[in-house]
Amino acid sequence: MVAVILSVVAVGLSAWAAFGPQRKSPEPNYTSAQQGEAKTAICAAADVVRKGVSLNTNLQVPGGEGDVTGSLAVAANARVSLSSGGQYLLARLDPATPTELADGVKKFANTLLDIGAAATSGSPNTDPDQAARLRDADAENAKLGELCK
């Protein structure tokens, strides 16, 4: 009889533990100093990406318009700078980064990744969807510039 009672109690406790009220992890609290350091770091990373993307998406083909190999190399550099720039920003994002800035960085980084992936699949800048992504990236870049002041 005692074994049956203990079994019922054990099953009841197990069910309560599995299906009872869920405990949330407390939201982390970051100091102003931690948030400031995170902001400085991600803004510096965004500046590096901005410069790299600008440089590599505006390269001139070394041998002129007829240089097929040079054209392919320039296009590859542009795609790599977009994709690696997006990944770099996401990797450098610190949890202490202020929310509005972190959201802007994520949006910009993902847009860069989308542009790079679309370009890799052959989408020209004149494609309406790609052109919209490029406009979005410009707007997001400008917003990051404001948030990083």
Specify the residue for token string 């509005």.
100
Q: Specify whether the CB–CB gap between 119 and 79 falls below 8 A.
A: yes
d(CA 88, CA 107): 13
Q: Each residue of 16-74: pLDDT tens digit?
A: 666 777 766 677 899 999 999 999 999 999 999 999 999 999 999 999 889 999 999 99
d(CA 7, CA 1): 10
- For residue 23, give the amino acid letter: R
Taking the model in full, what pTM does it have? 0.80
Query: What percent of the chain is modeled with pLDDT above 70?
Result: 85
